[in-house]
Structure 1
């Protein structure tokens, strides 16, 4: 992998992990509510992406679609509300696992036939998520966990809807812009519980403009020089980066349950990816 691609890929993975950290940090340590965080994240992300699109080509037009925007909004809203009481590392694992598993299941529903290695990997990943959610002293809150799984499924749907986009940056910009009225409506409906403070607003803007908008733009630059299997595999690092950063920056515990579940989920997905690589070799 060329050094420039390696640096871009590393920066993108840090940005993806940063979304979880910024959201959890904001909802844990500041007065901002999840609906306001969602709105500010999507608004600032839309502004950053529109700026990047204009800088790339002054006459560039936005693309995207309303279904894509709806999936993006569902992901962002469920993500924020989940992090009210989920640790950053647990949330990232649930999100990443749900995204990958939902996309794999969709592919198989469309006619992709899994071999024994792929099937074993999928079952292992499912088992890892189930083990994480089983009742116990170290189990994450069920409501937050279910919301994060919904966020992962929504992001998987968003990714599938965007696979045919000719211009990823233009499509993402259009989807972010279209999600703005949905976010505004959410904030209006929950206006009675709205709250914010300067720190919370700053974290939300950083999540939208930097970790989301700029992070996605960096990822699109990197992915142009990555094979599909490389792009999928490198994302296995995101939950690990998030869990370690959550422990260092937020004082979150690295429990044995989280460690074993991470090995099962990420290991299972890695098996599926290896099987795909062999099948296309």
Structure 2
């Protein structure tokens, strides 16, 4: 039960990130790159202070640390860039489809046991997600932004796979954010391409980075070892459903019969996949 509750809390944090990102980049109020850098910096500050408060040391690690940092950068900037022009629902479909492929491939390559029932549940949940998020007729497709979202999905899948080996989730997440934030600031310094910094989007970026990303990702690294790659992958299919429900609750978006039926299919597939036996 504890693992289920922690997983649910993490998925809510991920969904909140999606909503905050959409709000901050709406109508071009802020550049995607600037939002990503602010998100990394605020997450690095919050997590770094927690590490210092607990009197732990900063351990930058070896090759796996830099691989995680690269994957985190790919996700943060690919995600923000794609959502600057991509339909939110279709973007989420691309993101989590690629995450599924990446993490299931990682599980197969590392010979993680994947029961048949989990494959069936994953396919049901993914089918429900396709039904829920497939764009309506007349939607225009921007292939560069689709590629950016696919790149973000692969980055997040790799970042999650690497998290299974984190012995200290908080410290590992803090180091990932500190190094990624330094890379983001270096990019800003070299390009000098900051753009407008309106107070509202800046606040949303800080909340996204310090709370729903920083603390949410630390919790994610904490639950990844007991979840395993494939159960963690399938659990994330609930994020678009939660995000759409949040849009209905906080943004006044409409809830349809299609949403209700497709969400039931997604949740049913996820619950089937998360069964221990």
Tell me the TM-score range normalised by the shorter chain: 0.7 to 0.9
Cα deviation for residue 135 of structure 1 reads 6.3
Cα deviation for residue 67 of structure 1 reads 1.1
| 1:52 aligned partner | 50
Confirm or deny: 8 A CA contact 2:99 2:156 kept in the other structure.
Answer: yes
Cα deviation for residue 7 of structure 1 reads 6.8
| 1:137 aligned partner | 137
Aligned residues: 272
Change (3 A) 1:117 1:216: closer
Cα deviation for residue 39 of structure 1 reads 0.6
In 1, Cα distance between the equivalents of 2:141 and 2:238?
Answer: 24
Change (3 A) 1:210 1:249: same
Change (3 A) 1:208 1:237: same
TM-score (normalised: structure 2): 0.78
Change (3 A) 1:256 1:157: farther
In 2, Cα distance between the equivalents of 1:86 and 1:73?
Answer: 19
| 1:35 aligned partner | 33
Cα deviation for residue 96 of structure 1 reads 3.6
Confirm or deny: 8 A CA contact 1:133 1:145 kept in the other structure.
Answer: no
Is the counterpart of residue 111 in structure 1 residue 111 in structure 2? yes
Confirm or deny: 8 A CA contact 1:122 1:272 kept in the other structure.
Answer: yes
Moved more, 70-79 or 233-242: 233-242
Q: Deviations over 1:231-278 (max 9, x none)?
A: 74765543222111123323445566666665565555554444xx22
| 2:174 aligned partner | 173
Confirm or deny: 8 A CA contact 1:91 1:145 kept in the other structure.
Answer: yes
Q: CA RMSD in A?
A: 3.7
SS at match of 1:65: helix
In 1, Cα distance between the equivalents of 2:8 and 2:122?
Answer: 26
Aligned ranges 1:231-242 → 2 under 5 Å: 232=232, 235-242=236-243
Cα deviation for residue 183 of structure 1 reads 1.8
In 2, Cα distance between the equivalents of 1:131 and 1:238?
Answer: 15
SS at match of 1:196: coil
Cα deviation for residue 97 of structure 1 reads 4.0
Confirm or deny: 8 A CA contact 2:124 2:265 kept in the other structure.
Answer: yes
| 1:214 aligned partner | 215
Confirm or deny: 8 A CA contact 2:90 2:134 kept in the other structure.
Answer: no
In 2, Cα distance between the equivalents of 1:11 and 1:273?
Answer: 16
Q: Deviations over 1:98-139 (max 9, x none)?
A: 323321122123335755444444544555566677664275
SS at match of 2:164: coil
Moved more, 235-244 or 6-15: 6-15
| 1:74 aligned partner | 74
Aligned ranges 1:249-260 → 2 under 5 Å: 249-254=250-255
Confirm or deny: 8 A CA contact 1:22 1:203 kept in the other structure.
Answer: yes
In 2, Cα distance between the equivalents of 1:75 and 1:201?
Answer: 19
SS at match of 2:207: helix
Cα deviation for residue 179 of structure 1 reads 1.0
